[in-house]
Structure 1
Amino acid sequence: MVITKISIKEQVYEYLKSSIVRGTLVPDTIYSEQMIADELQVSRTPVREAIQLLKHENLVEIYSNRGFGVKAISSADIEEIIEARLAIEEFGIRKLVRDYRSEKGQEALHQLERCIEQTKEAADSHHQYEFSESDVAFHRLLVAFTENPYLMQVSDMIHTKQEQATVHSLHDADRMAKAIREHERILTYLRTGDEPGAVRAFEEHMQVTREILHAAETVADN
């Protein structure tokens, strides 16, 4: 990959983040700034700046005079991710349910439906990374309805960390199908303005997510 556009730091950041999520960069390995700079044909400065952004998001650790490494996800990380998602996304769900008849609410429901269609297309094509992106987009829409930029920023950071652990579990077609059904169930309750039902469906979805994250952690440890 050769970086050619103006915003070099952002492109290096997105490249490294994608490499972490896809498993190209893995824990227990030290990578040098120079290696990344040579690979992308850029100077070390934007690489160093991108790594600092990733460190802020708890995705990497920096080793003085040695390089950086991908930070593995821990059991504590998993529980904190789920707790944060329950708080943030449930808030978005409650706001959406209470405003679902408005033009803004109907547009949000339409976008959620489109995300589900995209996950189905990705599942049919066995494209786990595209599936993961559409899955995350569904949840980002719930967060977006909070209309709180701070919550959206935290949510983006959380989802990147979660994707790092779960994307490879999406080789399982059954899990893809189940995730789609869980999203459809949430959307059904949202469409009818059933707040308790939508919250319950989301909480059950999060419980399944918790189990998958812990299972992925166990596989990584082995």
Structure 2
Amino acid sequence: MLRSPALSLSPQSLQRQRSLQEQAYQALRNAILSGELAPGERLVETKLANKLQVSRTPIREAIRLLQHENLATSDLDGVLRVATISIVDAMQLYDCRIALEELSVRGACHHATEMQLQELESMVEQAEKIVNSKPTQLTSFRLLDIDYRFHRLLAQSSGNPWLVSLLDRVFDQMQLLRIQTTKHNPNVLEIRTEHRQIYQPIQQRDEKAAVEAMVAHLRASKARVVQEVEQLQQTKVSSE
């Protein structure tokens, strides 16, 4: 007697399972990159499954994908956590950014359209208005968003899609780093003058000045962020 096909082999089941896994992955990824799930926070499958009203299987697969992206980690005891960025990680990420974003501004000086230049200028003005308002955690997150969009648009303006793809991976890790640091010190994100100093030579198609401004911006940002990570680690050690 022929048995009916197993449910796990049905197209409907595969589609549903893939959809649940994808939804769980996107939900967890967004929660990590928004800071809702904080760096170092435990990722408990049962708790997350209850929150998203799914079984543990799509949660487990989603976390596996996040581990592949270095957004989640497993410690020596097998405990799953949101990834944290060490001082060495921070320095290496900034070194990668400096190399990649130098290419961004070089390309943008030659290929940025007038519409892209107008959008970049608009972001600079938005950041300046926010910085002049009362600092809060909300304004810090708004600045983070503008900072990300400004740098990503520069990459898009370069006309090199491979550069955009590479920077997207770096930006995800940088988002974790910024969440770690700006939560404790909103002033660590200084883009009020530095973004304008990058934008102006790009608008004038001055490649040399644009590269110098970008490198100076990222080196200054690197120094501020690394110092903040060091202070956070010292505070953690003192409290233990």
> Smaller-chain TM-score range?
0.7 to 0.9
Q: CA deviation at 1:61?
A: 1.1
Which of these residues, 148, 153, 171, is aligned with residue 136 of structure 1? 148
Cα deviation per residue 1:6-28 (whole Å; 9 max; x = unaligned)?
A: 95444433433343345443455
1:90-112 CA distance string (max 9 Å, x none): 11211111235xxxx21221121
Taking a change above 3 Å as real, the CA distance of residues 121 and 17 of structure 1, as seen in their structure-2 partners, is farther
Alignment match of 1:180 (pick from 189, 192, 201): 192
In the alignment, structure 1 residue 112 sits paired with structure 2 residue 125: no
Give 1:110's aligned amino acid: Q
Normalising by the residue count of structure 2, what TM-score does the alignment of the two structures yield? Answer: 0.75
Structure 1 equivalent of residue 92 of structure 2: 80
- Candidates 167, 177, 182, aligned match of 1:169: 182
Identity of matched residues, %: 29
Structure 1 gap segments, 5+ residues each: 1-5
Q: Which has the larger radius of gyration?
A: 2
**Residue aligned with 1:25, SS:** coil
Instruction: Name 1:46's counterpart in structure 2.
Output: 58
Paired with 2:87 and 2:185, the residues of 1 have a C-alpha distance of: 22
CA-to-partner distance for each residue in 1:22-75, whole Å, 9 max, x for gaps? 544345553222211111212223322322222122121136995511222122
Contact 1:30 1:66 in 2 (8 A): no
- The counterpart of 1:19, out of the listed 31, 45, 49, is 31
Q: Which moved more, 1:158-167 or 1:6-15?
A: 6-15
Mapping for residues 148-163 of structure 1, pairs under 5 Å: 148-163=160-175
Q: CA deviation at 1:197?
A: 0.8
Which stretch of the first structure deviates more once superposed, 209-218 or 28-37?
28-37
- Aligned-partner Cα distance in 2 for 1:206–1:199: 11
Query: Pairwise mapping of residues 58-97 of structure 1 onto structure 2 (< 5 A)?
Result: 58-62=70-74, 67-97=79-109
Amino acid at match of 1:116: V
> SS at the partner of 2:192?
helix
Unaligned runs of at least 5 residues, structure 2? 1-17, 236-240
**Matched-pair contact (CA < 8 Å) for 1:116–1:180:** yes
Q: 1:120 and 1:18 mapped to 2: Cα distance?
A: 27
Residue-pair matches, total: 212
- Tell me whether 1:55 sits opposite 2:63 in the alignment: no
Q: Which residue of 1 aligns with 2:3?
A: none
**What TM-score comes out, normalization by structure 1 length?**
0.81
